Structure 1
């Protein structure tokens, strides 16, 4: 018996042609959610959908090209969701880029050490202004602008949910003391304009060479497989009404940010 149109659930997962995004699509589809898998590269996105269609009903996984840094692409995508489904229940903002260069061989060598020494990331990771700017455009502004475009469709859902995929490195405790931390810590008075001001100031200082690298941060945290990483995201995406909102979760636990 076909599921009533009013009870069908629709999800969008960005940056989903591989890794955690792909695993999120797989797990949501396995729970009967119709998933729109997005990727910048159309060929890679279609290949990912083909893999998922071999596991689930063909109409549960759909591909649509999306570049979250391109306003025209976002507008076209929102129009597609509107015409195809008329609403949206779940948005998983997963698309992101590292914004750095990583010396793979040096990283493997460092991780192979088992003497408890902290990794010196300054010898493994380098970052240019252009890479930092690209990271901001994708990871922050891209997620923000896509969310704005899809909010009207999410508001048509009886139980809308937005999950922003981040990392422990996005926690405020990782930011050195100073004006940016003061602004971002004042959650009660935090506005979009204030966040943008912090981002723009960071880019300006980076370009002028006044950003000092913090080499004391310990990045050496545990790793999860894509499927393991996706589990908590899917759990949050399927939270029932009345569940915690506007919170920072590490795996399955709510944590202060």
Structure 2
């Protein structure tokens, strides 16, 4: 299948000598990353550089740092890393029909701008794509899933922790949508801790840790291992954790 982003290359010489980015263990030894599947996951502990790299890819591709389509241009807090300046993207020959960069931490701001950008479209028609009402009039989880369900076109989707507000059932709904869109030719690059999303078949998982970035199996992710241990050995796990 076509990949809209086939690979990325990092030129570390383009960064300042004392850049904090050079101290991120998972990133500092990486020069090139290839995307071999239509669904790629960034997995790893907090602070390992997943979101930093995803943001840099998004900005280098032309997205607004806080998210949205390629047409979104706004800023509520100027805190963009310089990594995007050091990235070179290798793009596929086919142009994507739709592009979206989703960030859980700035979803409220993007939802607000979506209403600002509706132009003269009547509210009742505009809201149909989001379950029939404003995203701000829905619960956090409802707004997330209705927002995701508005994605219906083949294209490039960058997603940073899309599971943040979703129940396990809603994560399964998102899983099915991701799989169906990928079958149509969409490409997803997703930073996540969700053991549900990470279980999508025929996806590629890139593990971020102190050794760098490497491909790993689903069962080797910490998200899976901790969840499996807790579910299957809950009493022993809690007794050891709580010192009882």
Q: Highest CA radius of gyration, 1 or 2? A: 1
- TM-score normalised according to structure 2 size: 0.32
Between Structure 1 and Structure 2, the one with more helix by share is 1
